[in-house]
Amino acid sequence: MDTSPARGTADAHATGTGTSPVPELNAQLGRLLGMIAGGDRDAFVEFYGLTSRRVFGLARRVLLDQELSEDATQEVFLQVWQSAGRFDPAAGSPLAWLMTITHRRAVDKVRSVQAATDREASYGAASQDIEHDAVSEEVGSRLEAEAVARCLQTLTETQQESVRLAYYGGLSYREVAEKLHAALPTIKSRIRDGLLRLKNCLEVG
């Protein structure tokens, strides 16, 4: 198929909607995935429009580089087109499935262009949220979506809400703070503590 729409990631990042409530969005994405599995190109275009901003945002957080993030985003949506029929709603939500694919694709791309020590140095120099990135990478690369969903239930309600917006929603700490009408230090603390608690749960599981 022609995957050229994914080359417009930078525009999609600026204009993509992704503003629907998560349960409503997941229901819509699940319906679209079923249509994509049947080869429906219009459904794919709609799916891309609803999720490209989130996918690009997460890829950019991991990769830091604009061009690499665009490449990773294109690869993610190519995988969606090819594997939509293998999505299992019993294993997790469509958005969690998509974000897991995105995170793994981005991490694989990082590993392909630099050694692990270089990657850690780059994160340390470029990111003020190193704790979040390091734990997110481990969560995304080692564990399946259903395990993450199970362990999310062990967090407090405020931690769950903050972690979902930052990790699955692709929002920055400041964007999460604005969305939840909370102080930035409070949000940073919630996400950091929530992710560490999530990491511990996953290691035990």
Q: Is 143 helix (H, G, I), strand (E, B) or coil?
A: coil
* Model pLDDT for residues 148-182, shown as the tens digit of each residue: 667 777 888 888 788 778 776 777 878 888 888 88
CB-CB neighbours of 117 under 10 Å: 8
- pLDDT value of position 145: 59
**Alpha carbon distance 25, 38 (integer Å):** 20
Please tell me the pTM assigned to this model: 0.49
Identify whether the C-beta of residue 34 lies closer than 8 Å to the C-beta of residue 78. no
Q: What is the DSSP string of 157-202?
A: HHHHHHHIIIIIS---HHHHHHHHT--HHHHHHHHHHHHHHHHHHH
Which residues, including other chains, have CB under 8 Å from residue 68's CB and lie 6 or more apart? 59, 109, 113
* Residue among 49, 37, 26 nearest 84 (CA): 37
